[in-house]
Amino acid sequence: MKSKLVKSNKFKPLEKRDSYRIGLPGIECTFTLIDFSNNSLGALKNRSFNGMINDISIGGLKFHSSYEFPVKHNIIMKMNFTFHGEVFELKGKIIRREDHIKGKSVSYGVQFVDLSENDIKRLNVTIHNYQVTQGNKTS
pLDDT digits (tens, 9 = 90+) for 48-104: 999 999 999 999 999 998 888 777 778 899 999 999 999 999 999 999 988 876 767
For residue 8, being part of any structural domain is answered with no
Rounded CA separation 17/15 (Å): 6
Domain containing residue 75: CATH number: 2.40.10.220
Instruction: Provide the pLDDT confidence category of residue 135 given band limits of 50, 70 and 90.
Output: confident
pLDDT at 136 over 90: no
| DSSP code per residue over 88-118 | EEEEEEEEEEEE-SSSS-EEEEEEE-S--HH
Q: How many domains does the chain have?
A: 1
Domain of residue 96, residue span? 22-138
**3-state SS class at 134:** helix
pLDDT at 24 over 70: yes
For residue 12, being part of any structural domain is answered with no
How much is the pLDDT for 37?
Answer: 78
